[in-house]
Chains A and B, each alone.
Chain A
Amino acid sequence: MSEDDERQESPPSDLEFSSNKARNYNATGSGSGQPEIQSPYSDQVLENVLENVLHFLTSRRDRNAASLVCKSWYRVEALTRSDLFIGNCYAVSPDRATTRFTRVRALHLKGKPRFADFNLMPRDWGAHFNPWVLSMAKAYPWLEKVYLKRMSVTDDDLAMLSESFTGFKELVLVCCDGFGTSGLAIFVSKCRQLRVLDLIESEVVDDETDWISCFPEAESHLESLIFDCVESPINFEALERLVARSPALKKLRLNQHVSIGQLYRLMIRAPQLTHLGTGSFSPSEVAGQGDQELDYVTAFAACKSLVCLSGFREIVPDYLPAMYPVCANLTSLNFSYANITAEQLKPIIRNCHKLQVFWVLDSICDEGLQAVAVTCKELRELRVFPFDAREDSDGPVSEVGLQAISEGCRKLQSILYFCQRMTNAAVIAMSQNCPDLVVFRLCIMGRHRADHVTGEAMDDGFGAIVKNCKKLTRLAVSGLLTDKAFDYIGRYGKLVRTLSVAFAGDSDMGLKYVLEGCPQLQKLEIRDSPFGDAALRSGLHHYYNMRFLWMSSCRLTRQGCQEIANAMPGLVIEVIRSSDEEEMDDSVETLYMYRSLEGPRKDAPKFVTIL
């Protein structure tokens, strides 16, 4: 399942290259000292040794550190880096990246900031994949893998990807847009070595092209095919044939146009699957398909390796019992599109002892969460999504469910919880019961909503989280919050890297506490909070250490932002207005600010002003 995994990050080494940290390590040495046996090739030998050793270094952070030791290490590290991660596509240009790293096999690239997912940024803001694919086509003909998140990818880009890299193996597109089924068709037809095609939460235009039929007819190397986000129907017969000729297929996630009867046919052809997205999980709309008569239980029972189940897009709950045989082995279950009740969940969940990741709709109510807490002792990640995502809707889950989970699932590391009512007491309880929490995201959907029992702000609850959860790196706050909550975050949230704030705080002090108190802060996204220019200034010492700052509907002015731009040439400061606004008065609707080696980008649309 898609996740915003928080991998370790350190500032790009380029920015620090001119710092004093580089020691000048000279292998041949000066003439003084012991007369060692010095062959003219010792430099070369050392470099070879280094190269061999550095091959083993995989962590990004370790590599960045190694590259700072000296020029020699910098050079060798650059030669041996095969996985290139770029957290902001505008922080560095494609040419700069390909010049430094010459032997890259895998590229991981991220584009738009996360708040773009919620319509807070006009379309066509940027993050185009095109310049990257052009640059890499020349620099890395051996490229095998591309992972893109929140990038704009066109059909032409997909075509170029498939044509430029003969050994291309893996394409993963998360939250991307700009392409359609015809782009997919070209891509799959030309990538003869394709192993992975994962389309996750991406927008795919329906050009009415039958892309599934475009996979080459020969036996395929496919290991993973994920297309549950594709909203257009697919050619099922072609899919069935494709699955039949893909003996290595382990992950298959279908879209909602695949009926349960069709799912059955695929499952019996691919019992080796480990990850399955079940499509609609309801019978075909075409009469006379006989979907009801198939033996689904046996089909599930045959999939002995199944550990991850998702889909259930249009679930008819009568078919749920079919999955009983696999429950005991499941480590990951995504019911977040399944509108089921607690009663319907219980028979399933009571067998899922090994479950570590569980995504679900709040339709299961607090009672359903209590059932989860009883059985799922290994739970690491929980996400509870709202069926009715409106501020004033009824809330089937509350502090009761949160409390139950905290008491039952002590190993919890990551939680995303949407609700309408919450109490400080339950949040405090979770902070005490789940000390391993790394990610805590609570979304109380009503804006400025207080603790519904005490009427107080939610400050103490979030304060307890940052205080007690010593491994916390990601936090999202909500509900009625005063500056005090931010004081707590600044004081105790020393490892926090990502912070999301909405409709919170009283004054500039709130933001100041955070900018001054959180040394690991990388990504800060704020909306509709009363923070202004003075608060913005208080982060000057830290902005070069951050990937980005987003502030929308706050109290910033052009002048305030211009001051920052003048003080910090290494930052790109984008003032974004909604695309229909022509006038530019002094107030800033949206600020998006990030460090970059390249200065202002040349592809900015009209509604973006770069200061």
Chain B
Amino acid sequence: MSLEEGGPESPESDVTINMMSFEDTELTLGLPGEGRSSSTTTTAAAVVNGAKCSAKRGYIETVDLNLGSCSSKPRGHGDTSVHDSGAGKPPAAKSQVVGWPPVRSSRKKAMNESCKYVKVAVDGAPFLRKVNLQAYSDYRYLIKDLENLFSSSFTIRNYGTCDDDKEESKLKDGAKGMEYVPTYEDKDGDWMLVGDVPWNNKNFSNMFKYCKLS
């Protein structure tokens, strides 16, 4: 469980871009829930192997996106396919049948490559966020957005999603003007902000365990 509640560490927003060397920001992808060991890794900016995700994650380790290590296997001959979207879904309970559904492999491959949602956790933030890597053309934009996403979580001021034009779904306590943020607990036990993943996204409805307003 990576949620840090009331931890003594200072918020990760202290880490600026300048301090990160290129290797620090090297991205590895780990499936949430996979390889979670109780042993903690150091918070040093080591490249985290895609298979391992430590329970306690600093900012750098959290943004791990090595696409090579967890790519889905080709779907020939009844392999169980592994999802690399970071959605936290375990391998399918049924083994996939060869050639079913009848979608050409070039199309399946293109779909796998087109959408990569990964979880981002920051120490001290009350919930995690999800980010679609495919929407970014450059590290600079990704990191900028991450800063925006997490700076707001400390003021609980503005959590509307940026990809849709929908209004922010704020709920106000009429009497006291307090604002509520909807969050949900997903299958891995992480608390996620509602709205980061498009409503129609695959596996979205499998993600919820609890939903609460806090």
Q: Are A337 and B110 in contact (CB under 8 A)?
A: yes
**A394 & B203 in contact (Cβ 8 Å cutoff):** yes
Q: Which of B94, B102, B115 contacts A339 (CB 8 A)?
A: B115
A201 touches B104 (CB 8 A): yes
Among listed B4-12, B16-24, B163-171, interface-contacting one:
B163-171
Cα distance A361–B114 when bound, in Å?
A: 12
| Contact A341-B198, Cβ < 8 Å, known A119-B76, A284-B137, A394-B204 | yes
Task: For the complex, give the distance between the alpha carbons of A365 and B114 in Å.
Answer: 18
Taking CB atoms, residues of chain A closer than 8 Å to B135 are: 316
Nearest-Cβ distance from residue A261 to partner chain B, whole angstroms = 10
Indicate whether A215 reaches chain B with its CB closer than 8 angstroms: no
The interface residues of chain B, by DSSP majority, are classed as loop
Complex contacts, A392 vs chain B, CB 8 Å: 92-94
Contact of B99 among A115, A339, A362 (CB under 8 A): A115
Which of B106, B107, B200 makes the CB contact (< 8 A) with A203?
B106
**Cβ of A343 under 8 Å from chain B:** yes
B143-170 interface with A by 8 A CB criterion: 163-166
Bound: A387/B75 CA distance, A? 15
> How far in angstroms is the closest Cβ of chain B from A225?
19
Instruction: Establish whether residues A387 and B102, one from each chain, have CB atoms under 8 Å apart when the complex forms.
Output: no
- With an 8 A cutoff between CB atoms, is B202 at the interface? yes
Q: Are B202 and A388 in contact (CB under 8 A)?
A: yes
Which one of B100, B107, B115 has the greatest number of beta carbons of chain A within 10 Å?
B100
A394 touches B92 (CB 8 A): no
Contact of B138 among A285, A365, A390, A396 (CB under 8 A): A285
| Interface size in chain A (residues, C-beta < 8 A) | 50
A-contact bits for B79-97, CB 8 A (1 contact / 0 none): 0010000000000111011
Q: How far is the CA of A392 from the CA of B94 in the complex (A)?
A: 8
Q: Which residues of B contact A502 (CB under 8 A)?
A: 100, 102
CA A17 to CA B126, docked complex, whole Å: 82
Max count, chain B CB within 10 A of own CB: residue among A118, A394, A443:
A118
Give the distance in Å from the alpha carbon of A337 to the alpha carbon of B108 in the complex: 10
- Determine whether A447 belongs to the interface, using a CB cutoff of 8 Å to chain B: yes
Residue among B106, B140, B166 with max Cβ neighbours from chain A (10 Å): B106
**What is the distance, in angstroms, from B105's C-beta to the closest C-beta of chain A?**
7
A385 on the B face (CB < 8 A): yes
Check if A341 sits within 8 Å of B103, measured CB to CB.
no
Contact of A443 among B98, B102, B134, B165 (CB under 8 A): B102
- The interface residues of chain B lying within 8 Å CB-to-CB of A314 are 113-114, 134
**Interface status of B44 (Cβ within 8 A of chain A):** no
Distance A336 CA – B105 CA, assembled complex (angstroms): 14
CB-CB under 8 A from B138, the residues of chain A are: 285, 287
Q: How many residues of B contact A (CB 8 A)?
A: 43
Q: Is A282 an interface residue (CB 8 A)?
A: yes
Contacts of A389 in B (CB 8 A): 101, 103, 107-108, 111
Closest to A445 in B: B101
Give the contacts of A354-390 with B (CB-CB under 8 A): 361-365, 385-390
Cα separation A115 to B103 with both chains bound (whole Å):
10
A120 at the interface (CB under 8 A from B): yes
Q: Mark B22-49, 1 if CB is under 8 A from A, else 0.
A: 0000000000000000000000000000
For the complex formed, measure the closest distance between the CB of B199 and the CB atoms of chain A, giving whole angstroms.
7
B206 shortest CB reach to chain A, Å: 7
> Quick check: is B205 within 8 A (CB to CB) of the other chain?
yes
Q: Is A283 an interface residue (CB 8 A)?
A: yes
A229 near B: Cβ within 8 Å? yes
**Once bound together, how far apart are the Cα atoms of A243 and B101, in whole Å?**
39
Partner of B114, one of A118, A203, A337: A337
| Minimal beta-carbon separation of A333 from chain B (angstroms) | 17
Cross-chain contact B200 with A365 (CB below 8 angstroms): yes
Chain A proximity of B99: nearest CB distance (Å): 3
- CB pair A390–B140 under 8 Å, yes or no, is no
Which residues on the B side are within 8 Å of A492 (C-beta)?
Answer: none
- Quick check: B200 and A119 within 8 Å, CB to CB? no
Q: Which residue of A lies closest to B205 (CB)?
A: A394
Q: How far is the CB of B87 from chain A (nearest CB, A)?
A: 10
Once bound together, how far apart are the Cα atoms of A287 and B108, in whole Å? 29
Q: Of B92, B94, B103, B198, which one neighbours A386 at CB under 8 angstroms?
A: B103
Complex CA gap A316/B138 in Å reads: 13
Q: Which residues of A contact B94 (CB under 8 A)?
A: 391-392
- Give the distance to chain A from B182, nearest Cβ to Cβ, in Å: 19
Check if A559 is an interface residue, CB within 8 A of chain B: no
Q: Assess A387 versus B111: contact at CB under 8 Å? Given A119-B99, A341-B199, A365-B200.
A: yes
User: Could you name 16 residue pairs across A and B whose Cβ atoms are closer than 8 Å?
Assistant: A115-B99, A118-B99, A203-B106, A282-B137, A313-B110, A337-B111, A337-B114, A341-B164, A343-B164, A363-B201, A365-B199, A389-B108, A390-B81, A393-B202, A418-B103, A578-B77
The 9 closest A-B pairs by CB, nearest first: A118-B99, A388-B202, A389-B103, A283-B137, A445-B101, A396-B200, A365-B200, A120-B99, A119-B99
Q: Identify 18 new A-B residue pairs, CB closer than 8 A, beyond the known A390-B92, A391-B92, A391-B97.
A: A117-B104, A119-B77, A119-B105, A120-B99, A201-B106, A287-B138, A337-B107, A339-B115, A364-B200, A386-B101, A386-B103, A387-B202, A390-B81, A390-B96, A396-B200, A447-B100, A503-B100, A527-B99
